Amino acid sequence: MDDFRWLTPDQLQAWKKLVAVVELLPGVLDSQLQRDAELTHFEYFTLAMLSEAPEHTLRMTALAAITNATLPRLSHVATRLEKRGYIQRSPCPDDRRATNATLTPQGWDKVVATAPGHVTTVVDNVIDPLNARDIADLDRIMTKLLVPLDPENKFGSRDRP
């Protein structure tokens, strides 16, 4: 164990702060969205990604990638969103074995109504505390962390707009 590589004090301090942000941020996002829109952040993010897609439609595999989710997790959430009338699933015209998810008009209205409150939460908690240099540094560091976290880039975390 003498050769084992423990963290240096600087690394440990940065790591513990990252852990704190990873623990606290989802609760802040979920609380506002649950209170104001009865959506989890993951549900909102799923609807928002469809709202940015051509014809408001993505293959379920592509939607899983863009939301950093496994397909089973996304399918579970898609069932809930479909029951609430926000999305609709249908066979992909180009490949009948694949499934498309499409934002419905009610889903679009939900995103439009929900976005301002959510964006305000993001601005208050993440954007406003940071200056332009911090934003650039955050982008650079998160890009580096996504290499091991998403090694085959299957979640599409490194080529998203």
Residues 86-105 that bind its own copies (CB under 8 A): none
Residue window 138-157: x/- pattern of binding to its own copies, with contact defined by CB under 8 A: xxxxxxxxxxxxx----x-x
What is the Cβ-side half-sphere exposure of residue 101, based on CA atoms within 13 angstroms? Answer: 30
Closer residue to its own copies (CB): 35 or 97: 35
Query: Do 46 and 64 contact (CB within 8 A), yes or no?
Result: no
Name every residue whose Cβ is closer than 8 Å to that of residue 160 and which is 6 or more positions away in sequence. Answer: 66
Query: Should residue 113 be labelled a site residue for its own copies when binding is judged by CB under 8 A?
Result: no
Instruction: Give me the least distance between CB of 146 and its own copies, in Å please.
Output: 6
Query: Do 91 and 63 contact (CB within 8 A), yes or no?
Result: no
- CA neighbor of 53 nearest in space, from 101, 115, 113: 101
Q: Give the C-alpha distances (Å, rounded to integers) separating 113 from 25, 47, 55, 77.
A: 22, 12, 19, 20
What is the Cβ-side half-sphere exposure of residue 30, based on CA atoms within 13 angstroms? Answer: 7
Closer residue to its own copies (CB): 8 or 83: 8
Closer residue to its own copies (CB): 98 or 142: 142
Closer residue to its own copies (CB): 19 or 98: 19
The residue range among 11-19, 31-39, 77-85, 97-105 that interacts with its own copies, by the rule CB under 8 A, is 11-19
Which residue among 2, 3, 6, 72 contacts its own copies (CB under 8 A)? 6
Residues 20-59 that bind its own copies (CB under 8 A): 20-26, 28, 42, 45
Rounded-to-integer distance, Cα 83 and Cα 43, Å: 13
Q: What does the binding site for its own copies look like in residue numbers (CB under 8 A)?
A: 1, 4-7, 9-26, 28, 42, 45, 67-69, 116, 119-120, 122-130, 132, 134-150, 155, 157-158, 160-161
